Structure 1
């Protein structure tokens, strides 16, 4: 019953990724932490910094949950696409990131008390996808995906980049959709006084992002030589330069440089 619509839902996210920047409010968000900067180019509601401790900065991505929200309808197809620009500050590098969230679902199919009449139907699908890409080279740093069908309860997902050694800027993209469709069960009873009467038992297909996405970026300071190691290096370079100069110095005129 819902197969055709489901295929449309699966492909809709690709179109949304292209059109979202045009239709979303062009509000720029810029957040500075102790070791990196975070920027977005279009935000209907500003993303926020949750914490910045011990080389881990966590950001709340609120627009995803605003868009992937169930609205108590028989049919819905919600989509979201967002891009987040991350750049390490001078003297730091990004060593990895995680992007996590949860879908919550509840599937209920209406039925008549005795199983007569037309049965109800319901189905739901959720999908989330994330990717990181180096700004300068365009190289892909990490990607991951999550999908759930007819979810009952909570489905957690986490996209982890693995170990990175990123001093340049990179973009983290997240795309997702939540689709659901439901139809009621319908049956008929007959009353001698009033005639036939239709009855309904409604179905529901809840699928939505539970809370704002959380993006945590991990950083560490670049290695800086210890003062004594730096001094020893300079001393060694000076001695080496002196040896090279002595070897290149020409011999005085008349001096016999050969050995019998």
Structure 2
């Protein structure tokens, strides 16, 4: 993703020369006019230089991927500046990031539910078809407990079946830490029990947990590039 493999051996020699003028460190600040001048300079190898632009963009994405409005804006800016086109998977990647940014910043609102809540409890977020598994952190093994609709409240995680009956719950004050892996979101409890949350949008569970428990937002480092890509169904492994 974001990079084109060239079958022309000369490309790998030329890119060592081009990288001094256009690279992942100057791509945001360099002007469109300057890029056009560089393209004109290497017009004899125009097709190869187009492939090189995708390589530069991929290297920038690899280095800068983040759940932030700044990343989204620079991503789109570079696409336009370089005149690149995105595949459906690449479009899905940036769309997912935009959704994560929106989820991170929107104010939490109370969601009406069909089950009883505690006094002063309110449900703020909802995620359907979430698999809950017990997680063995030592052996890295999981044991499936079931598929549920997950409601995130200010007091607990509520796992319901399709008839809105509460099947399981994890209280927020029991949660010691959270982490994000390629396979999903790990919830660590103070009693030593660990749980794995998995869904089609695995990163969304992590974002929702940070929304209702912001104390973990500063504590936990952001997921790295490789995790973000694989969690967005857009992982692209390349030796570069």
TM bucket normalised to smaller: under 0.3
Higher strand share: 1
Q: How high is the TM-score relative to the length of structure 2?
A: 0.24
Q: How high is the TM-score relative to the length of structure 1?
A: 0.22
- Structure number with bigger Rg: 1
Higher helix share: 2
